[in-house]
Structure 1
Amino acid sequence: MKKTATIVLTMARRINANSNDVFKAWTKPELMKKWLFTTEATNVVAKNDLRAGGKWEIIDRREGEEYRATGEYLEIDAPHRLEFTFEMPQFNNLQDQIIVWVSPVGKACEMTFKQEITVPHEESWGPEDIKSAMKEYSEESEAGWDKMFEGLKQLVETGEVRAMDSK
């Protein structure tokens, strides 16, 4: 069994939209396709079975490569809480856990996101190697989600997502 460590990434965003619209953007395939992972231009598949135990999947095709993200819904309390697993099987068989809270704040809402990231490491690694890998995973994950959350914010506030860098 591969050795792993876990880090927790927490992010929050104030969004000028109601909780229902933000929750729908997380759970409706036609909306997920517009912002989750990359954009509608490269997301070729977005589907889900929105129920506890149901699966979700998104496939992004860029430069001839397909990137698949998938998971299972663990808990759904629309429009306030969504808990699910997240994995990218083409890279490894590790699974992260994500919780999204959406809370009304006046005419807007606050979305809080928490990801428990499973970081693989080699048997031979020492504490500094593990610490470095955890830092890299955290920074890369935060940068990726930051771009996605900008797309989510654009979608629910304006109805469209402007072109974003898909790296």
Structure 2
Amino acid sequence: MTAEPSERIVARVTHDFTVSPETVFDAWLDAKLVRQWMAASIAESAPGTEMRTVSIDARVGGTFTFTDSRDEDETGPTGTYLQIDRPRRLAFTWLPEPGEHSVVTIDIEPTSTGCTLTLVHEMEPTWADYLDQTTAAWVRMANHIDRMLTPRP
């Protein structure tokens, strides 16, 4: 059973980038780029974990699968793209476990120095104890995307 929107738990992350909205948007749908920033994020949070699968069918109704090795198992989220409006909005389901239902919406607004990404992850109330951990994971991922995309001197 899916919770009503007012009952859902919400993780919200905002991150400023010094690159174009198109560049940030594409980092979410290009399998090579996703593998790079997601592997770095996973390695930071779970040392010794290896990124295994990054499969992306970047179209509305298309799916993705990201798996890594944890405790000899291969695990990770799957989802379906609900909205792809380059470079402004990306929305997808995020299913960490079968039967779970959550939705991630990413809005990207241009700024004078690049863009601002706002990520909203709406989850079932059963995930309330994981809200801080989920928010921290999205912050970590945004930071790794930034490091990957921002030219360093």
Q: Could you tell me whether the CA contact under 8 Å between 1:119 and 1:137 is conserved in 2?
A: no
How far, CA to CA, are the matches of 1:28 and 1:38 in structure 2?
Answer: 18
Provide the residue aligned with 2:46 in structure 1.
Answer: none
Who wins on radius of gyration, i.e. which is larger? 1
Query: Percent of pairs identical after alignment?
Result: 24
If the length of structure 2 is used for normalisation, what is the TM-score?
Answer: 0.83
How far, CA to CA, are the matches of 1:104 and 1:35 in structure 2?
Answer: 22
Q: Could you tell me whether the CA contact under 8 Å between 2:104 and 2:121 is conserved in 1?
A: yes
1:10 counterpart (12, 34, 38): 12
Superposed displacement of residue 80, structure 1: 0.9
Superposed displacement of residue 146, structure 1: 1.4
Map 1:9-158; keep pairs closer than 5 Å: 9-36=11-38, 38=42, 42-89=50-97, 92-120=98-126, 134=128, 136-158=129-151
CA deviations on 1:128-156 (whole Å, 9 max, x unpaired) are xxxxx62x221110111111111111111
Provide the aligned C-alpha RMSD in A: 2.2
What code does the residue aligned with 1:96 have? S
How far, CA to CA, are the matches of 1:46 and 1:3 in structure 2?
Answer: 29
How far, CA to CA, are the matches of 1:50 and 1:6 in structure 2?
Answer: 26
Q: Could you tell me whether the CA contact under 8 Å between 1:82 and 1:100 is conserved in 2?
A: yes
> Any stretches of 5+ residues in structure 2 without a counterpart?
44-48
If the length of structure 1 is used for normalisation, what is the TM-score?
Answer: 0.77
How far, CA to CA, are the matches of 1:67 and 1:114 in structure 2?
Answer: 23
Change over 3 Å in CA distance of 1:77–1:62 after alignment to 2: same
